[in-house]
Amino acid sequence: MARGLTLALGLAGSLGLQACQGTLPFQRQTLIIYVVPPGSSTLTKVDIDNFWNPLVTAYKRLHQGVHLNFNFVVFESQRLKQELRRRNSRGLGPDLLVVNAATAIDLLNQGLISKLQVPADVQNSLQPWVLSRVRVKGGLAALPIALEPQLSCYNRSRIPSPPATLDELLQLAAKGKSIGLSVSPPNIWWTIGPLGADQPLQALMETPVDRPMPIDGRGRARITTWLAWLRDAARQSHVNFFNNDEELLTGLSNGQLDWTSCLSFNLPRLQAKMGANLGVASLPQGPHGLASPNSLLRVVAFGVNSSPQQRKRALELGLMQLNPLMQRSLTLNSQQMLPVNRFAPAPVASSARIQALVNAEEQFQRSSLFARAPLAVNRLDTVSPAVENLLTQLVVDVIGPEQASERLIGILRHP
Amino acid sequence: MLAMVSWLGFLQRPDVLVQLLAIALAVLLARRLRGSPWLGRPFRPSWLPGWIRRPPVALAETGALVLAIPLLNLAGQESGLVLLIAQLKAAWLALELVEKLLLSRWLDPVMASRLSSRLLRPALLLATLLIGLDAVDNLQELANLPMGRLFGSAVNLGSLFEVVVVLYVLVIGSGPPACAIGWFCQRGLGMTEGSRRALELLLRYLLVSLGVLWALGHLGFNQTGLFAIAGGLSVGLGFGVKEVFSNFISGLWLLFEGSVRPGEVLIIDGEACEVRRLGLRAAVLWRSSDNAELLIPNQTFFTSTTATFTGSDRMRRGILAATLTNSLAPSEVVSRLEQVATAQAGVLIEPAAKASVEQLGDTTIRYKLTYWIADPLSNQEISSALKLALWHNFKPIDISLN
């Protein structure tokens, strides 16, 4: 037994050393890559192939002496931290992780990924506000690779032209079109801008708890107006609110819903089910301005267990994704992501969908709370379950907008 | 396959290599020190229990692995892999303890060995493999790997695995619960031993059938698929699987009828055999004369005449033919034959042994002795003992017995 174990370990060690030196018959190095879909979204192998295959092909073309194996592992975001903690402690953590910027910052704060230093020219090539979302003391938490904005997704066979305003959205519902909205804060927060509640809500989320109340009666009224719109929308028979964002997507792809908000991340999945019927547009504006959608910044983060060789290859792969040509082809191939490299403009002329993505991203830049106050968003993450519960009570008429407004202020002030 | 090759990538990491080295050293040291004389008396005072002074190998190895963890942490190294191996070792050690301390005391050796080798050890082995897979990959994602389509339903690796495990557990593990229900029914309803065994078998069939139905549902078989299977079976029944199906139905019928149940004693080729098991295809019978096990297709009992000693009762009547010279009065011989038979161990008092004159010859008289025994299978031994007793009793008169 002991002899067998020694032999096995000796063999393993020898294989490891040979692998390090690239002298194995197959001369391959391996990168373990965790892909973490946002929220409760799901990801298939086809999605991963679509994203990574062009990159891997380009990498192999560029580094012909290097043979890399990739092992893609999909993890749900809910159990990512726990899994990383366990796997890192065994030395079996990933070399690369594809996550959201906010998740990367959180993981770095908990010591679950490692910081990276990026050359100045690479940093210069990134949009400044993109860089600011991943910059931490002493480096970057992760490498930004793409943007995935929130937009409106609809069934073109039922809705020939998408609603441009919130009024038009409710008119569609009045005409019998089925509208799906979410009570999950990151998903419904796009309505706070058009209804004027974004400023007071931002003030509430940014102001430390020990400071005086940052909003006055007018701010409270704006929040109440927003909540009243949600309650009124919920009273319409063809407007349905869902707790789970996944239900919205399933409803749209199954034909139960005609319009809903969605993250561009989910477009390939919807496209596969709906085909040409899938319509995409920026979210409706309101009396107070543009929609205030979310936009995910997808980043590549680096694990803590990699060997120096693995780390080097991982960084090469990550940096390659920022190449303007790769960024452009990423946008064209995926039709769901926008480039983060400022020298790689989105090819809007080649696709109406990319144009819609760009419009949605502009909305995000100009009016979204998520863009203006990314740190405040962390507080929203903390209170998200409580806010979701509150909005659920509002849309089922258990509480009125005034009461909901007071309780929401309380939740955001004292998370 | 590619994923398996890529797991080798972990061996490129110093963190993993250091831990593997620590595991190897801990295991080797534990083995060496456990039997080493120089780690002798000062470390092993005689007042300590034996299992501490010289612990089992697995315990020593687990202890060494646990001790390696703080050392690795002190050196600033990861130690989760060592902890995982220690936990798995501890689990196997715990199983050994359960087998030695509990199973061997509560269950008979054959049952304990069966439970261990067919259920507990495979379960722990499976758990170990799954934990190992989960350590290097994502088990949930592996479970979602598509395995193709069956009758219009997509089947993935996870559901297929669940079905195989549940069916295995049902086939192997349905025994003890069925035994328990059988035991309660026997106590509560006053069932015979044979009826109890039949009930157990029926319960097991029922559980396995329910398991198969669940498995089909779990795999997402639609009704069309089930009809297609039923159609295929009906054609198959006409050709290849006719005999199998016939044997299965015969087995069920025999159980319900109660004519051939485990525990029954039947005459097969002129010898008494006990029914041990009534399986799906065949019955297993035990022949006491040569300790052979006979595998007889169920439909044999269904289509041919079978003699049983255990239909309405378990008594068997034995017959001996004795031939003696006419030097003794027949009445005395009859009386002595009955006395010897009655005194013989294993021969029942009631109904009483009966001797009679069969044939009167010129020089010899032939007698017939009939006796009853409780255990049909011990006829040969009792008959032999009785013949010896008669020979001794009638000595020096010549007696011929057959």
Residue B253 lies in a domain: no
Token pair listed for A79: 């159990």
Q: What would the mean pLDDT of B150-174 be, rounded to a whole number? A: 83
Following DSSP, what letter does each residue of B177-232 receive, concatenated?
A: HHHHHHHHHHHHH---HHHHHHHHHHHHHHHHHHHHHHHHHHTT--HHHHHHHHHH
User: Which of A31-35, A200-204, B57-61 has the weakest average pLDDT?
Assistant: B57-61
Mean pLDDT for A221-236 is 95
Does A375 have pLDDT greater than 80?
no
Q: Average of pLDDT values for A118-134?
A: 89
Same domain, B191 and B292: no
Q: What is the model's pLDDT at position B303?
A: 82
Q: What is the rounded average pLDDT of the residues A60-77?
A: 82
Residues B16 and B110 occupy one common structural domain = yes
Residue B69 has pLDDT above 90, yes or no: yes
Q: Tell me: pLDDT of B34 over 80.
A: no
Same domain, B174 and B125: no
- Asked if CATH classification 3.30.413.10 holds for the domain at A149-295+354-413, the reply, yes or no, is no
Please tell me the predicted confidence (pLDDT) of residue A70.
Answer: 82
In angstroms, the separation between the Cα of residue A153 and the nearest Cα of chain B is 28
Q: What is the pLDDT of residues B218-248, one digit of tens each?
A: 777 766 666 777 777 677 666 666 777 788 7
Asked if the structure places residue B38 within a domain, the reply is yes
Mean pLDDT value of segment A177-196? 93
CATH number at residue B325: 3.30.70.100
* Mean pLDDT within A290-304: 92
CA distances from B234 to B221, B227, B237, B248 (A): 19, 10, 5, 15
Q: Does A74 touch chain B (CB under 8 A)?
A: yes
Residue A383 has which token pair? Answer: 């209170």
Cα A19 to Cα A22, A63, A315, A318, distances in angstroms: 5, 17, 19, 22
Average pLDDT over chain B, rounded to an integer? 83
The whole-number pLDDT of residue A350 equals 79
Q: Is the pLDDT of residue B252 over 70?
A: yes
C-alpha count within 13 angstroms, C-beta hemisphere, residue A60: 12
Instruction: Let me know whether B56 and B30 are in one domain.
Output: yes
Yes or no, beta carbons of A2 and B31 under 8 Å apart = yes
Q: What is the DSSP letter of B252?
A: H
Higher-scoring residue by pLDDT: B250, A42: B250
At residue A19 the predicted structure's pLDDT band, cuts being 50, 70 and 90, is very low
Q: Do B28 and A2 touch (CB under 8 A)?
A: yes
In chain B, how many domains are there?
4
B179 and B200 within one domain: yes
Q: Are the Cβ atoms of A306 and B2 closer than 8 angstroms?
A: no
Q: Are residues B21 and B130 in the same domain?
A: yes
Instruction: Identify whether residues B50 and B20 lie together within a single domain.
Output: yes
Q: Considering just the CA atoms, what is the radius of gyration of chain A in Å?
A: 23
Report which of A236, A251, A258 is spatially closest to residue A178, judged by C-alpha positions.
Answer: A258
Average pLDDT over all residues of chain A: 87
> What class has domain A25-147+296-350?
alpha beta
Tokens standing for residue A312: 């080097």
Q: What percent of chain A has pLDDT over 70?
A: 92
Q: How many residues does chain B have?
A: 402
Q: Which of B105-109, B127-131, B356-360 has the lowest mean pLDDT?
A: B105-109
Extents of the domains making up chain A = 25-147+296-350, 149-295+354-413
Give the least confident one: A31-35, B38-42, B242-246: B38-42
The tokens describing B290, both together, are: 């040569």
Neighbours of A318 (CB within 10 A): 23
pLDDT: is B193 or A9 the higher one?
A: B193
Question: Phi/psi at A256 (nearest 5 deg)?
Answer: -80, -25
* Shared-domain flag, residues B167 and B202: yes
Cα(B59)–Cα(B57) distance, integer angstroms: 5
Closest C-alpha among A302, A179, A303, A159 to residue A237: A179
The more confidently predicted of residues A370 and B18 is B18
Yes or no: say if A371 and A293 are a contact pair by the CB < 8 Å rule.
no
Position B212 pLDDT exceeds 90: no
Residue B389's closest CA among B328, B316, B338? B338
Q: Is pLDDT at A259 greater than 60 in this prediction?
A: yes
Given an 8 Å threshold on Cβ–Cβ distance, is B15 in contact with A305?
A: yes
| Residue whose entry in the numeric block shows the structure tokens 């910052």 | A105
Q: Which of B8, B61, B77 to mutate to test the interface with A (most CBs of A within 10 A)?
A: B8
Could you tell me if B296 and B323 lie in one domain?
no
Whether chain B has a CB inside 8 Å of the CB on A213: the answer is no
pLDDT for A15: 52
Give the residue from chain A lying closest to B138, CA to CA: A73
Give the pLDDT band of residue A26 (cuts 50, 70, 90).
very low
- Is the predicted pLDDT of residue B271 greater than 90, yes or no? no
Same fold, A25-147+296-350 and A149-295+354-413: yes
Distance of CA B3 to the CA centre of its chain: 39
Q: Give the model's confidence band at B256: pLDDT under 50 very low, under 70 low, under 90 confident, else very high.
A: low
Higher pLDDT, A249 or B362: A249
Smallest CA–CA distance, residue A83 to chain B, in Å, is 10
Domain containing residue B117: 2-135
B395 and B373, same structural domain?
yes
How many whole angstroms separate alpha carbon B313 and alpha carbon B264? 10
pLDDT of res. A281 = 94
| pLDDT reported for residue A1 | 46
DSSP B120: I
If asked whether residues B116 and B26 sit together in one domain, one would say yes
Q: How far is B304 from chain A, CA to nearest CA, in Å?
A: 56
- Which pLDDT does position A142 carry in this prediction? 95
- How do residues A93-106 score in pLDDT, each as one tens digit? 999 999 999 899 99
The confidence band for B371, taking pLDDT boundaries of 50, 70 and 90, is very high
Q: What is the pLDDT of residue A11?
A: 55
CA B13 to chain CA centroid, nearest Å: 47
Interface of B with A in 2-21 (CB under 8 A): 2-3, 5-21
Give the model's pLDDT for residue B338: 92
**Low-confidence winner among A50-54, A189-193, A254-258, A359-363 (lowest mean pLDDT):** A50-54
**Would you call B8 and A90 a contact, using CB atoms and an 8 Å cutoff?**
no
Same domain, B18 and B127: yes
Tokens, residue B88: 């798995």
Q: How confident is the model at residue A25 (pLDDT cuts 50, 70, 90)?
A: very low
- A69:B21 CB<8 A: no
Over range B103-107, report the average pLDDT.
79
When CB atoms are compared, the residue of B2, B17, B136 closest to A92 is B136
Secondary structure (3-state) at A291 = coil
Q: Is A6 close to B81, i.e. CB distance below 8 A?
A: no
Task: Please state whether the predicted TM-score (pTM) of the whole model is above 0.80.
Answer: no
Using the beta-carbon criterion (under 8 Å), do A90 and B9 form an inter-chain contact? no
Q: What is the mean pLDDT of residues B62-80?
A: 93
pLDDT at A111: 94
- Provide the strand spans (E) within B260-301: 265-268, 271-278, 282-287, 292-297
List all residues 6 or more positions away from B109 whose beta carbon is below 8 Å from its beta carbon.
Answer: none
A96 contacts chain B (CB < 8 A): no
Amino acid A28: pLDDT:
67
Summarize pLDDT for A260-289 with one digit per residue, the tens. Answer: 999 998 898 899 899 999 999 999 999 999
pLDDT top residue among B193 and A304: A304
Share of chain B above pLDDT 70, in %: 89
Backbone angles phi, psi at B241, to 5 degrees: -95, 15
Say whether residue A32 is in contact with chain B using an 8 A CB cutoff: yes
Q: What is the DSSP string of A149-178?
A: EEEEEEETTT-SS--SBHHHHHHHHHTT--
Q: Residue B124: phi, psi to the nearest 5? A: -70, -35
